[in-house]
Amino acid sequence: MKDLVSEVIKTPVVKKLESLVSKYSKVGDSLFFDNEQFPWASELETNWLVIRKELEQVLQHTHALPNFQDIMPRQQRISPDDGWKTYYFYAFGFTAKKNCERCPETWKLLQQIPGLKAAFFSILAPGKHIPEHRGKHKGLIRYHLGLIVPEPRAACRIRIGDRIAYWEEGKSLFFDDTFPHEVWNDTEGYRAVLFLDIARPLRFPLSVVNWLVNQILSLSPLVQEAKSNHKTWENRFEKVLQERG
């Protein structure tokens, strides 16, 4: 299957967008961003225990959750094992309705976020390492809300560019994932965050170009394949819940 995402990212229009980000970005162009630049983050932090409570219900079925590469096979290159579990709410126009119904408060909060493009619980098993990689689209910004962060702190970390960051429970972390980054959970516990991709706030006319690129991505074979894979997992998960019910 031809990866339309890669083709879109390689187009002259998108390359031009990348080169103009520093000029048109409303939040600058850096490794990390401040919470104050994204006012909606305070609402997530205020309600982080509400979100964590719903996450804990999900974690009762950790082994039945899909691996990242089960939903997006091309991620096999950075995570070929079962150490990175996911629980999707939304991705480029696709809403995982049953998942949202199981976590209604989390979904209610997510629906208030402007420019939301993807949202899921990202769960790393003890000892999990995600090797260096980078995103392809500078029109997105990555967000993590720490929900479960095991100790010791120094053993659970993310490197972005040449800087190391540590998750904190109930705290936000914004960064540009087009910089090389790498993740370690060298602890004996699970690490879980609310993982979001949001459209980078840009001034006109780049805002329109970015909107168009994201629309194209939502129609790409990659996203359609992920949607199909998620539905397959969802049907299987429903049977697991019925058997345990």
Per-residue pLDDT of 43-55, as tens digits, reads 999 999 999 999 9
Kind plus residue range of the DSSP H or E element containing 244:
helix 221-244
Cross-strand pairs, 118: 91, 197
Task: Provide the phi-psi class of 67: left if phi over 0, else alpha when psi is between -120 and 50, else beta.
Answer: beta
Percent of the chain with pLDDT over 70: 93
Backbone angles phi, psi at 65, to 5 degrees: -75, 155
Average pLDDT, stretch 139-163? Answer: 97
pLDDT-derived band at 217 (thresholds 50, 70, 90) equals confident
Q: How far apart are CA 142 and CA 19, in angstroms?
A: 19
Is the pLDDT score of 15 beyond 80? no
Chain segment 158-207, per-residue pLDDT in tens: 999 999 999 999 999 999 999 999 999 999 999 999 999 999 999 999 99
Contact 196, 44 (CB under 8 A): no
Q: How far apart are CA 48 and CA 216, in angstroms?
A: 32
* Cα separations in angstroms, 84 against 4, 27, 184: 25, 30, 11
Contact 150, 185 (CB under 8 A): yes
- Considering only CA atoms, which of 155, 148, 154, 193 is closest in space to residue 175? 193
List alpha helices for 74-158, DSSP H. Answer: 97-102, 104-110
Chain segment 222-244, per-residue pLDDT in tens: 899 999 999 999 999 998 888 87
Cross-strand pairs, 67: 85
- Considering only CA atoms, which of 85, 89, 146 is closest in space to residue 112? 89
Neighbours of 240 (CB within 10 A): 12
Residues counted in the chain: 245
What the block records as the tokens of 76 is 């096999």
- Considering only CA atoms, which of 102, 141, 140 is closest in space to residue 121? 102
What the block records as the tokens of 97 is 């309705």
Chain segment 119-140, per-residue pLDDT in tens: 999 999 999 999 999 998 899 9
Average pLDDT, stretch 16-37? Answer: 90
CA 148 to chain centre: 16
pLDDT-derived band at 12 (thresholds 50, 70, 90) equals low
The pLDDT of residue 14 is 62
CA angle 105, 199, 4 (to 5 degrees): 110
Q: How far apart are CA 137 and CA 140, in angstroms?
A: 6
Does residue 238 sit in helix, strand or coil?
A: helix
Is-above-0.85 flag for pTM?
A: yes
Q: For all residues of the chain together, what is the average pLDDT?
A: 92
Is the pLDDT score of 6 beyond 80? no
Query: Which residue has better confidence, 3 or 234?
Result: 234
The pLDDT of residue 226 is 94
Is the pLDDT score of 7 beyond 70? no
Q: How far apart are CA 165 and CA 182, in angstroms?
A: 11
